[in-house]
Structure 1
Amino acid sequence: MPKIINLVSLLLVCGLSSLPVPVRAQALLPHTLQLDAAKLEKQGLSLAQEAASLGQFQQYEMALPRARLASQLAPKSDKVWFLLGGLYLQTKDYPNAITALKKAQTLNPKNADIQFALGSVSFQQEKYQEAVAFYQAGLKLKPNDSEGLFDLGNAYYMLGRLADAIAQYNQAVSQNQKFWPAINNIGLIFYEQGDSQGAIKKWQSAVALEKQAAEPLMALAVALYTKGDQKQAVVFAEQALRIDGRYADLEFLKQNLWGERLLGDTKKLLELPAIQAALQQGGS
């Protein structure tokens, strides 16, 4: 049974909203509106493209209604359901995200990206073992996907399986040598394990690959500060905070998998007068 399409929205899509409403005699049955399914599906895919564009600019309140209508007009498109699920995920509406993604999975069970997205829903809900299962399922379909390998590494990280996490990060880098987030996260693990020098080398490598990456810059600043190189630490910290001021927020850093040792040392760095001055200047 096809989904019931909202008539008001449908009239708008079909360009019929401006037509006069006929006066119906009681004895006459209303005419049935004949709809072209192919045209409706095409319109749905067009709406999905608009929603995707809006989503890229984080305009989710505008993107979601378009994506929802697109899923009604093109209900057999796994891409539309995948988009809708992704938008729900971005707005942290996890139940609706799961529903939409499961629908996409039913339509296209061989799409690894759907498995990865379901893994992300589980990860954000802190269901890390469940996330591992989804990421592994995705990697069976797309074994060389660097982002999928990275996500699996993050799930292992949160489960405390650090050796497994490092192995996945290294695999991600082997597939994409410029994939600096995986290199960065190996540094996070090294630092918590007491290997400051190993962490510094990883963060230096990450910065060399992406000079505008605030995270390895800030982490590198913290590590150098703890080793006594305050001058260089301040330079790197100021540079990182100019790129992204959120790296002065310890809660944000925790969400980005920074461990207790690194967070404690970051707090000390942020208390320096030079860093405080930079933060005040940035906020003015």
Structure 2
Amino acid sequence: MNKFFKKLICVSFIFFYFFKIEQVESIVPYYYFPTKNNLEREGLSIGKNAYQLLYFGQFEQGLNLAKLAVKINNTDEKLWLILSEAQLVNNLYKNALISLNKAQKINPKNSETYILQSNIYLKISKLQNAKTALKTALRIESNNYKAIFQLGNILLMENNYAEAIKLFDKSVKIKPDFWQAINNQGLAYFEKNNINLSIKLFEKAISIEDNAEPLLGLASCLRMKDIKLALQLAKKALNKDPNYVNYDYRKEQLWGEKLQASTEILLQNDQLQTDVILAKSKINASS
């Protein structure tokens, strides 16, 4: 009797065990394991979303998404490039350089990775490293106007105005609507005391893009020639981008000492004080 009950209990347990498994299998679907192509597509999709967040100034969220994209697919240099940009805007310069190194190992012929590398080196004041990165980019793609422009910026920082102007001119010949290069030619010519040519270049840049930088640059040029127009342009510039009220910010944009001095005098004009105060308050509110 004892043995019979033991056998009965054992059989019941086995039956119950298999019955439960069948129940579970009938309820829970089989796991789907994504293919390599699906993972690559998912990584790229997340990478694009990360880039959009960076574009709209959501730097921390963009960084988190970029990290996730690379975890999903670590064989695409574009995703490492996006991660590096996210790290750059979050001031993680060392990490950004490591990410770029990963991208360059995957594809050493992508000129964009070397241009971004130069930007990072500029952030940490390593001009020679930045130059080397740009020259590598130009060996890969000799007509890359962004690399030519950035090399011109480094020469502008070194006060080598004549050579900087040549490079800015070369980049504009490749991309005629590249207003940033036209604007920076204006910056360089002002330091060379060619104010009339600076005026023409700032006006040309404005005709392409009604941006605060050439607007204020032109205002500073016109300070001694047409103060009424200069004040109008300065008001418009500060309204568009209040950061240009700040000396250090303009220096970051590579404004030379002569243009800085002229701008400081202009911003001290009594008729601009309301605009200057408002611009400074906007900067303080956003910081």
| Alignment TM class, shorter chain as reference | 0.7 to 0.9
Counterparts of 2:149 and 2:126, CA distance in 1: 17
What's the counterpart of residue 18 of structure 2? none
* Amino acid of the structure 2 residue aligned with 1:253: R
Counterparts of 2:83 and 2:44, CA distance in 1: 12
| Larger helix percent | 2
Please report the RMSD computed on the Cα atoms of aligned residues, expressed in angstroms: 1.7
For the 8 Å contact 1:238–1:275, the answer to whether it is kept is: yes
What's the counterpart of residue 216 of structure 2? 218
Counterparts of 1:271 and 1:187, CA distance in 2: 23
Matched, 1:147 2:146: yes
Q: TM-score, normalised by structure 1?
A: 0.83
What's the counterpart of residue 233 of structure 2? 236
- Deviation string, structure 1 residues 32-54 (Cα, Å, up to 9, x no partner): x9954524443322221221111
Q: Which blocks of at least 5 consecutive residues in structure 2 are unaligned?
A: 1-30, 283-287
For the 8 Å contact 1:128–1:159, the answer to whether it is kept is: no
What's the counterpart of residue 166 of structure 2? 167
What's the counterpart of residue 45 of structure 2? 46
Aligned pair in 2 of structure 1 residues 130, 46: CA closer, same or farther (>3 Å)? same
What's the counterpart of residue 22 of structure 1? none
Spell out structure 1 runs of 4+ moving beyond 6 A: none
For the 8 Å contact 1:54–1:62, the answer to whether it is kept is: yes
Counterparts of 1:42 and 1:177, CA distance in 2: 35
* Amino acid of the structure 1 residue aligned with 2:76: S
What's the counterpart of residue 26 of structure 2? none
What's the counterpart of residue 10 of structure 2? none
Aligned residues: 250
Q: Which SS does the other structure have where 1:160 is aligned?
A: coil
* Amino acid of the structure 1 residue aligned with 2:213: E
Larger Rg: 2
What's the counterpart of residue 29 of structure 1? none
Counterparts of 1:37 and 1:190, CA distance in 2: 57
For the 8 Å contact 1:183–1:206, the answer to whether it is kept is: yes
Counterparts of 2:188 and 2:266, CA distance in 1: 20
Q: TM-score, normalised by structure 2?
A: 0.82
- Deviation string, structure 1 residues 86-135 (Cα, Å, up to 9, x no partner): 11111221100000011000001110100111111111112112111111
2:242 to 240, 245, 262: 245
- Deviation string, structure 1 residues 214-273 (Cα, Å, up to 9, x no partner): 111101101111x24211110111111121111111111011001111111111111111
What's the counterpart of residue 9 of structure 2? none
What's the counterpart of residue 253 of structure 2? 256
2:270 to 268, 273, 280: 273
Counterparts of 2:121 and 2:170, CA distance in 1: 22
* Amino acid of the structure 1 residue aligned with 2:179: W
- Deviation string, structure 1 residues 116-165 (Cα, Å, up to 9, x no partner): 11111111112112111111111121222222211110012122322221
Residue identity over aligned pairs, in percent, reads 32
Bigger drift between 235-244 and 98-107 goes to 235-244
Counterparts of 1:256 and 1:277, CA distance in 2: 24
What's the counterpart of residue 9 of structure 1? none
User: Cα offset for 1:281?
Assistant: 5.0
